Amino acid sequence: MSQTGTPTRSRLNLFQASWVIARRDFVAVLFSRAFLFFLLGPLFPVLVGGLAGSIGKSVSDQAVSVEVGVAMSASDNAAMIAAADVLRPQLGGFLPALREVKEAAGDSNFDARAFLDQRRGNYAAIVTGTLAAPKVIGTQGQVSRWSGPAELIAATAAGASPSQLPRATSEVVTTSAASERTNRIRTAQAAQMVLFLLTMLLGGMVLSNLAEEKGNKIIEILAAALPMDAVFMGKLFAMLGVSFVGIAVWGALGWGFWAIAEDAIVTVTQTNFRELPGPAVGWPMFLVLGIVYFTMAYLLLGSLFLTIGAMASSVREVQTLSMPVTMLQLMVFFLSAANIGQTGTALELSSIAFPLSSPFAMLARAAMEETLWTHALALVWQVIAVFLLVKGGSLLFRKRVMKSGGAGRDKSRKRPRFAA
């Protein structure tokens, strides 16, 4: 109690103020009629995702270079590689890139099957034996694909006529490094597509909420009562919470559809995809990283939208400025998708360093590489970027909106105090 008998009220700290705004916005949006209609929105991105699948196939074909190893004698290896170079101008893509398996050099006990089972190198298959009797070792699909070219190359290397092609034998293994890499690229592409669609679909709620409150001057009332950093942070996390509610609803609907049409879905899946590719870090960790990177991608895009709202002087200007950001996000997605399978290159590292593309690039890396410490560093950088964007947006809002709305405002007027 104060000396005058009125109760004293302490000013809310940043966390408490952010929680007040987040709770207010979360409840207001969640129980609005517009949110119920918004839940029908994913029907259209699903159609877009199906069309984009054909584009993803071409990216996968370019990202994986087909290499067939040769593990014969040193002279036969040289003859096979030379013969492939002679035939390639005429046959082009029908011939694989032959590479000598260095681990087999001088090793009379080299086991090509065990070598492929260990997923060492990037070989789709390995050719052993002799020029007169080559043997192709690999998965069933790779053996069927490369037995014919191996016979032709061996015949050319031995100087045999086309009517005297050697008959290649085969040995099938469960998997190989090349097939494993192809599967992981498919997983990375699918994960990036889902992350992009969810981010773009749900990120717009931040901008629409801010534009509405700028139009009816509510945002200025909040800014006069609470720190602007807390207002922006609260709005950002409120919309993130609403997004998770939406994802949970869509997931429940998808689960219900699966329960009704499970047999048909399994048949289509087996027919089109053959197998479910596994990420390098394993499915449990990959799902955790997917949730974390969706959170960071949403916060980064949302904080950028808040910054745009701070720069705009009207609702129409907010909507106009949001279009370049949407196109930028689309280009960022294509940049990250093009870098799948190019781990460690300058372009891939630059997409990790750029905040908006970092979640997409790191999610793809989780599908391709087993290393986890790089994700910790990337997440720290993404968190820093979110705080910097929020801080910059709040500064711009105070500079542009608050000054333009009240240049003659009495600066000695104190903000109303909220109860803690």
Res 290: pLDDT: 92
CB 66 within 8 A of CB 142: no
Q: What are phi and psi of 176, to 5 degrees?
A: -150, 170
Using alpha carbons only, how large is the chain's radius of gyration in Å?
29
- Give residue 273's pLDDT: 43
DSSP string, 35-63: HHHHTTTTHHHHHHHHHHHHHHHHHHHHH
Residue 93: per-residue pLDDT: 62
Cα torsion through 364, 370, 371, 376, rounded to 10: 50
Question: What gap in Å lies between CA 70 and CA 120, rounded to an integer?
Answer: 14
Count the neighbouring beta carbons within 10 Å of the beta carbon of residue 91.
12
Closest CA to 95 of 117, 63, 53, 124: 124
Does pTM surpass 0.85? no
- Closest to 240 (Cα-Cα) out of 202, 288, 193, 201: 202
pLDDT of residue 2: 47
Task: Note the pLDDT of residue 274.
Answer: 44
∠ CA 31-34-38, rounded to 5°? 105
Q: Is the dihedral of CA 167, 173, 178, 184 positive or negative?
A: positive
> Tens of pLDDT along 306-361?
877 767 666 677 667 777 777 877 888 888 888 787 777 888 888 889 988 899 99
Neighbours of 168 (CB within 10 A): 20
Q: Which two tokens stand for residue 118?
A: 């260990």
Model confidence over 4-35: pLDDT tens digits? Answer: 544 444 467 878 888 888 888 888 888 887 77
Edge to edge, the sheet with strand 67-70 lists 97-100, 67-70, 123-129, 134-138, 169-172
The whole-angstrom separation of Cα 3 and Cα 10 is 16
Nearest to 367 by CA among 124, 190, 119: 190
Phi, psi for residue 161 in degrees, rounded to 5? -80, 160
Digitized pLDDT (tens) for each residue of the chain, 420 residues in all:
445 544 444 467 878 888 888 888 888 888 887 777 777 766 566 556 555 655 555 555 544 556 788 888 888 888 888 888 888 887 766 777 888 888 777 777 788 777 777 766 678 788 888 888 888 888 777 778 778 888 888 888 887 665 555 666 666 565 556 666 777 788 888 888 888 888 887 877 777 777 677 666 777 777 777 788 888 888 899 888 988 988 888 888 778 777 775 554 444 444 444 445 678 888 889 999 999 999 999 999 888 888 777 676 666 776 677 777 778 778 888 888 887 877 778 888 888 899 888 999 999 898 888 888 999 999 999 999 999 988 888 888 777 666 654 444 444 444 555 444
Parallel, antiparallel, or unpaired: how do β-strands 123-129 and 134-138 relate? Answer: antiparallel
Three-class SS state of 420 = coil
